[in-house]
A and B are shown apart, each in its own frame.
Chain A
Amino acid sequence: DGGITQSPKYLFRKEGQNVTLSCEQNLNHDAMYWYRQDPGQGLRLIYYSQIVNDFQKGDIAEGYSVSREKKESFPLTVTSAQKNPTAFYLCASKLTGPTARYEKLFFGSGTQLSVL
């Protein structure tokens, strides 16, 4: 079955450490996204990519970095510059093209990141 796989499900970060969250999709979608969700809050966009080798900052990109070397993969690195990284991270993808605006997002099952 096609879908989005996020790993790990739980991740712990030590002070000053960079950690990388994995996101892989086999839906053949061009666009991929990273959202952050804090308890009781909605989703906030960190980064997004509409095509391989290109990505744009979202609303809360500071302290995060991404790469898009393959269509299937969009890893997110939480750097030591992100002072409050504890949150639930969701990766998503969607179709692009003329109807992109009206296409639904497909989501992974998320990664819970906590600080030790």
Chain B
Amino acid sequence: AQKITQTQPGMFVQEKEAVTLDCTYDTSDQSYGLFWYKQPSSGEMIFLIYQGSYDEQNATEGRYSLNFQKARKSANLVISASQLGDSAMYFCAMPNSGGSNYKLTFGKGTLLTVNP
């Protein structure tokens, strides 16, 4: 079974600085993908970025980028030029393998606080 580990319960960053949120994973699959979601205090889960293990270039979506290092089994989220609105919980997730391809396993999340 897949395992997702987010080792940073909380992170602080100054506005306009960059921040990296860590995510490590464990899978026996040759082909897999990693998702990142943002959960503001309102509770909804917002999709941020996705990258497949077969992608050669790191994924980028606006100020979000994935630092994917397969040899280290890490898929860290980098947020550039942090904004106050980036304060939220951030979750890393991976699809299950085998016959249960439709399920996502989530990490426990990192609470990011952006200071003015």
- List A residues at the B interface (Cβ < 8 Å): 31, 33, 35, 40-43, 45, 48, 50, 58, 88, 90, 92, 94, 96, 100-102, 104-110, 112
Q: CB-CB < 8 A to B50: which residues of A?
A: 102, 104
Q: Which of B11-19, B67-75, B105-113 contacts A (4 or more CB under 8 A)?
A: B105-113
Taken together as a complex, chains A and B put the C-alpha atoms of A41 and B106 apart, in Å, by: 10
Q: How far is the CA of A48 from the CA of B96 in the complex (A)?
A: 13
Interchain nearest-CB distance for B98 vs A (Å) = 10
- Docked-complex contact B91 and A42, CB < 8 angstroms: yes
Interface size on B, residues (CB 8 A): 23
- Specify which chain A residues have a CB less than 8 angstroms from the CB of B35 in the assembled complex: 104-105
Closest 3 CB pairs between A and B? Answer: A107-B45, A101-B101, A42-B106
Min CB distance A85 to B, Å, is: 17
Give the CA-CA distance A101 to B91 in the complex, in Å.
Answer: 18
Given contacts A41-B109, A102-B95, A107-B44, 10 further A-B contacts (CB under 8 A): A35-B106, A42-B108, A48-B102, A90-B43, A101-B33, A101-B102, A102-B52, A104-B47, A105-B45, A109-B43
Nearest CB of A to B44, in Å: 5
B78 partner residues in chain A, CB cutoff 8 A: none
Cβ contact within 8 Å between A43 and B106: yes
Q: Which residue of B lies closest to A111 (CB)?
A: B43
B103 at the interface (CB under 8 A from A): yes
What are 9 A-B contacts with C-beta separation under 8 Å? A40-B109, A41-B109, A94-B102, A96-B102, A100-B101, A102-B52, A105-B104, A109-B42, A110-B43
Which residues in B have their C-beta under 8 angstroms from that of A45? Answer: 103-104
A96 to B102, CA, bound (A): 8
Given the known interface contacts A102-B50, A102-B95, A104-B50, the answer about A90 and B45 at a Cβ–Cβ threshold of 8 Å is yes
The minimal Cβ–Cβ distance linking A12 to chain B, given in whole angstroms, is 17
- Across-interface contacts of A90 in B (CB, < 8 A): 43, 45
In the assembled complex, the CB of B23 is this many whole angstroms from the nearest CB of chain A, namely: 12
Say whether B43 contacts A50, CB under 8 Å. Answer: no
Cβ contact of A101, chosen from B9, B95, B106, B107, cutoff 8 A: B95
State whether A88 and B43 are in contact (beta carbons under 8 Å apart), knowing that A43-B91, A102-B95 are contacts in the complex: yes
